[in-house]
Amino acid sequence: MPFVSPGTGWPEDPATPETPVAHKPQDVMELAESAPDLAELCARQSVCRACDRLVEWREKVALERRRAFADEEYWGRPIAGWGDPEPRILLVGLAPAAHGGNRTGRVFTGDRSGDWLFASLHRVGLASQATSVRAGDGQHLIGTRLVATVRCAPPDNKPTTTERATCLPWLNREMAMIAPSVRCIVALGGYAWQSVWPVLKTVGYELPRPRPAFGHGAEVRMTSPGGDPVVMLGTYHPSQQNTFTGRLTEAMLDDVLGRAATYL
């Protein structure tokens, strides 16, 4: 199989064989809107097949595998939101990595970016362990939730505009469900910063105009749909491109995530 069948014992698999599957963009809208709770929403996210190109790519990668992981079964499915179901802090990334989340089934898990991110989350008190290696490794987030704006690994890490739009209802609905508790949003990179803005608008946040520019350490104040003050922070993405070159250091990442941790 090019993917893990739902409900067959993969640790933290949110879905079952009965979870309804989205096969086209309209299905994503309807299934996201009709999900009765966050657990079912995540289950539906994790079996989605609405983007032909991304389904083909994630399953091809899962079958071919990287040599270092040749003996491992790959998840090969979308990566659902993960972490505290009533978070104070929400971290938003762009999309899972082909041999990271697409292999392990957990967002930012099993790749170098995730290694950096989880080490920092642990240092500032938002993750129980310094590493996130695989689903079922005992890692858990503290008052924090982690989501990707596009749930499937895209070729070259570049989802198309259509794919981003198709996936958006999953995030819109997840954001609406967790908005009552969220007090701080962290955008991991400029793409996430841009992508989350229309989601916040759709969900009913009061946002400053014009949209503030992304930058490392950028901070924006807004109001949640329930009238609570919310802060959005920006950090450079912990990609190897940034961490190898020193554009993003551990101290810089700890600084932003440490500021987020004050909202716990």
Which CB sits closer to ligand SF4, 167 or 182?
167
User: Distance between CA atoms of 101 and 97, rounded to whole angstroms?
Assistant: 6
Per rule CB under 6 A, is residue 150 in the interface with ligand SF4? yes
Q: For tokens 């790519």, what's the residue?
A: 57
Q: Report the nearest approach of ligand SF4 to the CB of residue 119 (Å).
A: 27
Give the one residue of 32, 51, 62, 200 binding ligand SF4; rule: CB under 6 A: 51
> Which secondary structure element, helix H or strand E, spans residue 105, and what is its range?
none
Q: Which of 151, 183, 216, 237 touches ligand SF4 by CB under 6 A?
A: 151
Q: Residue 32 interacts with ligand SF4 (CB under 6 A)? A: no
Quick check: 28 binds ligand SF4 (CB under 6 A)?
A: yes
What Rg value do the Cα atoms of the chain yield, rounded? Answer: 17
Closest CA to 104 of 126, 79, 122: 79
The region of 4-12, 49-57, 110-118, 235-243 touching ligand SF4 under the rule CB under 6 A is: 49-57
Describe the strand order of the beta sheet including 184-188 as a list of residue ranges: 82-83, 144-148, 89-93, 184-188, 229-235, 219-223
Does position 48 interact with ligand SF4 (CB under 6 A)? The reply is yes
Binding mask 156-185 for ligand SF4 (x = CB under 6 A): -------x--xx------------------
Residue whose entry in the numeric block shows the structure tokens 């982690």: 146
Residues 77-116 that bind ligand SF4 (CB under 6 A): 78
Buried-exposed string 149-160: b where 16+ CB fall within 10 A, e elsewhere: bbbbbbeeeebe
46 versus 181: smaller Cβ distance to ligand SF4: 46
- Please count the residues of this chain forming the interface with ligand SF4, following the rule CB under 6 A: 15
Cα-Cα end-to-end distance for the chain: 41
Q: Where on the chain is the footprint of ligand SF4 (CB under 6 A)? A: 28, 45, 48-51, 54-55, 78, 150-152, 163, 166-167
